[in-house]
Every structure is written in structure tokens, then in C-alpha cells.
Chain A
């Protein structure tokens, strides 16, 4: 009797926790379709006016374009640098592996305000403050650890005898890389690239410090909007970003499964 009471209590608690996790997002999204600028239910009527404002005004579109531009640049830079580093790190007997890995991963551990203040002083000194370059470089440091982690994970099950076989069959290292290694680590690379994109796309603190209104990104516009007065357009923007994140991370998940299949790791 007591056991079944515990059983239902446990289930009830879990239900409440799951509700706590998901409800805020699900409850807020429909409000972006409200025809009046209030955040209450029942809604007065449905309308797409906030989406119109998001997609058709210069303030939001400029920010969206800046965000995409910065995120794409960050993705390219961090994927190339991160993949090369992961390839090096996963070679057997890499010297000082733990120390190097700790340094390379550190940007995701250091509190982001400290990174922001550090790069703010630094870019002020070298004259890069309030430029796209500063924003891209700072975001790249934050995004690369994700590329390293995903590519290293892909390489963990990598069979090095494959490249050796390619070399034995006469392939030069570059050919062996593009024909053998790359196709196998590609899922990890793409996952890392998508994580890198999202890291930059969602980042707000560094953007607040090193960018001027000229380089305002979407999260920055949202942040100042929430500080002043929260408008349904911010919720519309958030909804677009949520859908975008879901699409991206579904892709990551599918790629992870594919990669595990390719490497012969069975999903439990």
C-alpha cells in the first residue's frame, strides 16, 4: 500500500517537474500570435502583426542579418580550427594532452562576463572595439570548444588502421584525409558547426560589451527590448529562434545517430 502511494507520489512529482520545464516555453509562444500587445490569456484574437514587425522592420531585420553574418563567420572559423585541433589531439601520444585540452575547453567554463570584460579591454587596446571582427573573434573563442568536443567524440571510435590502410595502398596523406577520414568525421564536424552557429547566434553578453549599435545582434536587441518594455515582437523573435534551434538540434541528433551507425556503435 505504502509502496504504491510512493509510486504515485513519485509520478506526480515527475509530472510537475516536466510541466515546470516545458510549460514556460509552450505558454509563451502562442502569445506571439496575440492581436493585442498584452501577455494574458484568453487572447483577444489571432494576428501575425508581431511577425510582420519582426520580418519587415529595419531594426529587427538589420539585427537578424548581423546575427547571421557573425554566426556564419564564427561557424567557418571555429569548425576549421576546432576540427584541426581535434584531429591533432586524438592522435596517439599527443604531448600534454590534458593540459592543452583544458586550455582549449576553458572558454566554456570561464564565466562569460569575465570573458566579455577581458576581450573588451583587449579590443579597446588593439583598436578593434565596435567592429564585426571583434565580435566574430570573441564568439569564435566561445564556440570552438563545442567543435572540439563533438569532433573528438566522433574520433573516439575512429579506427586509425583505416588511414594506415589508405596510406599502404598508396594514398598521400591529403587524399587519405579527404577520402577516408573526412567522410567518417563529417557528422561530428557538422554537429560541431551547428553548435558553434547556435553559440554565436544566441550569445548576448559579449555582444553587449564589444559591439556598438552598428553590430547589434538579435539577442542584443531582444535584451535591450526586455529591459525597456517587453513587446510581443520579442516573443515573435524568440519563437522564430526556438523553432530554428529545434531544427538545428534535430539535425545534430540525427547526425549523431548516423555517425554511431557508421562507426558500428549500437544505440542501446
Chain B
């Protein structure tokens, strides 16, 4: 039918109609694209690019390459077996002298200190003392000034610095590091903290997700089965906290859970406890506050799926002889699974990135990955570590989100 139409009109104004249609379609596509372009460019420049750069920071570190260029060039020929020769030490002496005048010795020291803790002051003092040396030979002199320079692992580290790319930060993030001969080894116990942090993040997130599901499912079921009027009224009680900012809800929990807070007062007045219980700055406070914040996010998708389930399914099962529990479990519950998956996955994804709430109601042992990202950025100024931890967190989040959008669809992100 359509082919005949095209054939009839094909000579209209000399241009085949099919081409003309295509041209118009393309123009419309361009128009649509043009409308999206400003925002797309903005998001790409102000959001995707900064995050991409951060990811790059996780594997890119040219501190040694820029601040000790002579040593890096000299080290390229080093075979990595014994200590390097005089030429390399002379190059190092030159770089240290320059770093002393340019006041970059501390930066070099900090970079070396990441991998060999305790070497910061030795690098700085070496730089100061070397700048007083009139002339070589430098090898003996440097080792005398700082025994550090006679250690093989320092030279392995410097040799790794000849590349602008390093796996060090990502390795550290999963509790590995480079050994004395640049082989990958497990971190020493005092540095082995990040696997715990990731496990803790996953643990708190799954715990909170499970609790929100246990509390949210029955409530969603009630809201979905009540008549519209009363369920809408109760819905206000769910949505009102959802509308309140996370910071404010966390504040409320700080007030409630304090040592002489309302919860402790009430429990003591009821003679449940005789001493104020430790409810805040520990795991209890973190999980309670996070559950409170995430509960509506788990509940709402379950509720909206339950609303669409016709009551006649369960009725049919009952009339065929199923008991109430059997009918619920075999007929109703499977139908709610898409809602459960969407709600739980969303809560889990959001939990992984929690920062404010653990910072305010958690103790030091409850801080999640985000807190360490912030800590390395603001306090330690170790941007490589911040980026590496962030990269891992982001990768996990995006993978989960990908499965979420395949499951639910991007367009259906709910806002209550």
C-alpha cells in the first residue's frame, strides 16, 4: 500500500518522494538533537568530564616524572638488580637540589612516603643536605646523608615513577601494593583497611535494604489493599518524611538517639533500661537513620506494582482450593517481584554512596567508602587514593544501575 503511494508521488517536483521524506525526517532529527544539545554539552563538560578526569587520576600520577625528571631519565637504563650507578645518583642529587630551591622536596617526599611510610622527612632532609654538597661523587655521599637511598625498594619505586601511569592507588584500594621488586604483594596489616571498608559498605547497604524490605513490604501491602481514601491518608505519613531532606532527617535522629536524647529518656522512664544505651555514633544509629531515609524509596515501587495486581488472581486461587498463605505466596507474591527488585536495587544503589548520615550518626567504624573518598580529598590531600576508591565505588554503582535500568527502564525512575 505504501509502496504504491510512493510510486505515485515519486516524481513530485523532480525529487523522489522517498528522498524528500528522508530529508524531512533527518531535519526533524537534527531539530530534536539541537534542543537536547545545550544540556548534553553542559552535562558532558560540567559532569562527565570532571568525573572522567577523576577516574584518570586513579591511574595517572606524574609527580616523580615532572619533579625529578633527571633521575627518571637516568633510571630508564637501570636493570633493577643492584643499586644504580653513580650517574643515576648524580641525577638524583641534581633533582633534589632543584627541589630544595623550588620547594618541591615535600611533594616528592610525600609521593615516596605513600608507598614507603616514614620516608617523608628523610627525603626533605636529604634535599636540604644535598644542596650543601659542593660536588660529587654523589653515590656514597647520598647514602651517607640518607640511608633511604641505599635501599633497593626506593629505587624500584623511583623506577616505577618513570611511567606516568601507576596501578598503586587501585592496588592499595583492594589492599595490595608493590613489593621491594615491584611485584604485587598483599599490603601489610596496618594498611589493610580497604577490603574491610568495601565489605562494610556492602554489609550496611544490604542490611539496610533487607530491613527496608521487611518493614516496607507489609506496609505497601496494606496501602495497596486499603480503599483509596484511607490509603491516600496513610500515604501522607510515608511521603512526608520522603519529602524532608536527608540532612534534616539525620538531624532528627541525632536529637532522638543522643545519650540523653528522647529515646534513651523514654526507655529509662519505662524502666526498659537503667543506663542510657549507646544508640548513636555506632552501627545502630547508622542503620536506624539509613533505614528511615531509605524506607520510602523501597516501599514506593513495591506499592505501585501492588496497585496494578488485580485482586481476582488471589480470589481465583482461593476458589480453586488454595489456602490464604498458599494463595498469597504462590500467586500474589511472585507478581510483586518486579516492584521488590526495583525498590531494593534502588535502595541498595543509593546506600552504597551514603556519606552525610554515617558522618553524623555513625562512629569511626561505620564510615563507608564515600567517607574515605572525602577524607583523602580534603584531609590527606591524596587525590590518587580518593580517585581510586571513587572509581571502584562508581563502577559498582553504575553496574548495578545498568541492571536496574534493564529491569525497570530509565524513564520510570520514581520520585514519589
In the complex, what residue of chain B is closest to A103 when comparing beta carbons? Answer: B43
Interface size class of A (residues with CB under 8 A): 35 or more
Inter-chain contact B410/A102, CB cutoff 8 Å: yes
Inter-chain contact A140/B42, CB cutoff 8 Å: yes
In the complex, what residue of chain B is closest to A107 when comparing beta carbons? Answer: B47
| Residue B387 is within 8 A (CB to CB) of chain A in the complex | yes
Complex Cα gap A17–B390 (Å):
34
Inter-chain contact B248/A242, CB cutoff 8 Å: yes
| Residue A40 is within 8 A (CB to CB) of chain B in the complex | yes
Inter-chain contact B54/A93, CB cutoff 8 Å: no
Inter-chain contact A202/B258, CB cutoff 8 Å: no
CB B272 to nearest CB in A, in angstroms, measures 16
| Residue A129 is within 8 A (CB to CB) of chain B in the complex | no
User: Which residues from A are CB-within-8-Å of B371?
Assistant: 113
Contact segment of B120-128, B192-200, B233-241: B233-241
User: Which residues from A are CB-within-8-Å of B40?
Assistant: 85, 100, 103-104
Inter-chain contact A241/B245, CB cutoff 8 Å: yes
| Residue A205 is within 8 A (CB to CB) of chain B in the complex | yes
| Residue A58 is within 8 A (CB to CB) of chain B in the complex | no
Q: How many A-B residue pairs have CB under 8 A?
A: 252
The listed residue (B238, B393, B405) touching A111 by CB distance below 8 A is: B393
User: Which residues from B are CB-within-8-Å of A18?
Assistant: 219, 234, 237-238
| Residue A211 is within 8 A (CB to CB) of chain B in the complex | no
| Residue B185 is within 8 A (CB to CB) of chain A in the complex | no
- Within B14-49, which residues are at the interface with A (CB < 8 Å)? 25, 28-29, 31-40, 42-44, 46-49
User: Which residues from A are CB-within-8-Å of B202?
Assistant: none
Contact segment of B136-144, B167-175, B329-337, B349-357: B349-357
Complex Cα gap A18–B39 (Å):
40
Inter-chain contact B47/A230, CB cutoff 8 Å: no
CB A228 to nearest CB in B, in angstroms, measures 11
CB A206 to nearest CB in B, in angstroms, measures 11
In the complex, what residue of chain B is closest to A108 when comparing beta carbons? Answer: B413
User: Which residues from B are CB-within-8-Å of A117?
Assistant: 54, 373-374, 377, 386-387, 390
The listed residue (B28, B43, B240, B394) touching A104 by CB distance below 8 A is: B43
Tell me what chain B mostly uses at the interface: helix, strand, loop, or mixed. helix
Inter-chain contact B353/A113, CB cutoff 8 Å: yes
- Within A21-43, which residues are at the interface with B (CB < 8 Å)? 21-22, 24-25, 27-28, 31, 39-41
Complex Cα gap A120–B47 (Å):
11
The listed residue (A111, A150, A245) touching B352 by CB distance below 8 A is: A111
User: Which residues from A are CB-within-8-Å of B255?
Assistant: 28, 31, 39, 230, 235
| Residue B118 is within 8 A (CB to CB) of chain A in the complex | no
Can you list, as one digit per residue, whether each of A114-138 has a CB less than 8 Å from chain B (1) or not (0)? 1111111110000000000000011
- Within A209-236, which residues are at the interface with B (CB < 8 Å)? 209, 219, 222-223, 226-227, 230, 234-235
Complex Cα gap A94–B34 (Å):
11
Q: 17 more A-B contacts (CB under 8 A) besides A107-B47, A109-B349, A152-B411?
A: A10-B221, A21-B295, A21-B296, A24-B252, A28-B252, A39-B262, A85-B35, A103-B44, A115-B47, A118-B47, A121-B383, A122-B53, A140-B46, A141-B43, A144-B43, A209-B374, A242-B248
